[in-house]
Amino acid sequence: MTSTLSHIAERYVQLVLAIGQHDASYVDAYYGPPQWQDDAASAKPSLQQIGDELAATLARLASVEVSADQETRLRATNLRIQLLAMQAKVAMLEGMKLPFDEESTRLYDAVSPHHARAWYEAIVAQVAHLLPGEGPASTRLQQFRQQFVIPPARLQAVMQAAIEAGRERTLQHIDLPPEENFVLEFVTDKPWSGYNWYKGNYQSVIQINTDLPIYIDRAVDLGCHEAYPGHHVYNVLLERDLVRGKGWMEYCVYPLYSPQSLIAEGTANYGIELSFTDEERLAFEQQVLFPLAGLDPALAPRYLAVNRLLARLAYADNDIARQYLDGSLSRGEALEWLVNVRLYPAEKAAQRLQFYDAMGAYVINYNLGQDMARAWVERQGATRAQHWAAFRELMSSPRTPTALLA
């Protein structure tokens, strides 16, 4: 039988589910035929068998005649890139150790820029200037931030308000199914601060980790990233527009360690700034979130100024993870970088190392993904309405990270 993209897509889904039998974290979401999931669990092919089938599927894909329209070509390219990332993941599960940049290239189709410590220290000096006092910048920052912790008893109300504000802004630009919804849960003992578990049928479970203090700025960040217009909207659009609308079954499964994650995390982070300009965010936090949290709204402008600077340290996460995982920084040295360069409190630094150990090069998807999504969206037009339209297109089209550079 001659292969078509539809046949390739079905085999792709089945192979993702097969890899998931060897790594419980690999399949982040699945809402396809239950029989395929059952078949993967009962057959449980070996990694060698999965690798052989991936090679055969890639060969079949190369022989498929693809029509000239852009959407079909993008779909075929996306399937190829995802399958290649699956080959890399299988090799890693078999014991292959990749350098950080090679891992990010093969799993996420992108490489993060490198910056020396001095580059970040110049930003740290600016943070210190905003926070005069005794001791290192990291200590002064943690003392300053204690004023902005959301009391646990108020966390539910603050998070619900932040998510609803993101939803209102999203619905002004993106039409969503009337039945879409989410459940908000608070959890502990996780290496991440927030997570969206998409369940299909336009439903999500959004979890917020309360192991560490949650600062007031994280309400908007997490609300937009995990819900609207981030992961929840992304998955709803994929299900409605691609799986149900076009019958593209490859999108009924989400392999976490794949190029799709750079698009998902990048759009989720870019969606924060798309939803709120700095001025809109300051007004919303001062007028709504600070009072809900019982915090002093007069402190909000200075806090925003500090957070603008801290955002410029984001790539330190990538550089610390790369050096730590490649072996040029010891655990103790990585913790020191996280505290004095990334300006995390000691407990957050320890949690971050736990994330690097568990997720490897995945960390690049947040900041590099955000920058790549922003650059692509803003090349599509100059107005905010055009940016929203391009953002929606990006979230519901089969673009790869490399395609964002074109």
Structural domain ending residue among the three candidates 36, 64, 97: 97
Asked, for residue 192, whether it belongs to a domain, the answer is yes
Same domain, 31 and 140: no
186: three-class secondary structure by DSSP: strand
**Angle value at C-alpha 49, between 44 and 52, nearest 5 degrees:** 145
Same domain, 126 and 84: no
Position 2 scores a pLDDT of: 55
Burial environment of residue 59 by CB neighbours within 10 A (0 to 12, 13 to 18, 19 or more) = exposed
pLDDT per residue rounded down to tens, the chain (406 residues): 357 999 999 999 999 999 999 999 999 999 999 999 999 999 999 999 999 999 999 999 999 988 878 899 999 999 999 999 999 999 999 999 999 999 999 999 999 999 999 999 999 999 999 998 899 999 999 999 999 999 999 999 999 999 999 999 999 999 999 999 999 999 999 989 999 999 999 999 999 999 999 999 999 999 999 999 999 999 999 999 999 999 999 999 999 999 999 999 999 999 999 999 999 999 999 999 999 999 999 999 999 999 999 999 999 999 999 999 999 999 999 999 999 999 999 999 999 999 999 999 999 999 999 999 999 999 999 999 999 999 999 999 999 999 999 8
Are residues 206 and 161 located together in one domain of the fold? yes
How many domains does the structure of the chain reveal? 2
Please indicate, yes or no, if residue 112 is contained in any of the structural domains. no
Q: What does residue 203 show for φ and ψ, rounded to 5 degrees?
A: -120, 140
Mark whether 291 and 362 lie in a shared domain.
yes
User: Is residue 67 in a domain?
Assistant: yes
CA gap 90, 99 in Å, rounded: 16
**End-to-end Cα, the chain, rounded Å:** 35
Helix (H) or strand (E) holding 205: strand 203-209
Identify whether 75 is part of a domain.
Answer: yes
Q: Of 66, 97, 128, which closes a domain? A: 97
pLDDT in the model for residue 1:
39
Measure the CA–CA gap between 5 and 338, rounded to whole angstroms.
45
Same domain, 80 and 150: no
Domain end among 65, 97, 129: 97
Looking at the structure, tell me whether residues 232 and 305 fall in a common domain. yes
- One domain, residues 191 and 249: yes
User: Would you state the pLDDT for residue 107?
Assistant: 98
Residues 82 and 195 in one domain: no
28 backbone dihedrals φ, ψ, rounded to 5°: -80, -30
Q: Do 311 and 208 share a structural domain?
A: yes
- Do 390 and 347 have their domain in common? yes
Does 30 share its domain with 130?
no
Per the CB < 8 A criterion, the answer to whether 255 and 15 are in contact is no
Same-domain status, 236 and 331: yes
Q: Does the residue 102 lie in any domain?
A: no
Tell me if the pTM is above 0.85. Answer: yes
Residue 341, in any domain of the structure = yes
- Structural tokens at position 282: 């300051």
Task: Let me know if residue 111 belongs to a domain.
Answer: no
The answer to the question of residue 109 being in a domain is: no
Residue range of the domain that includes 33: 5-97
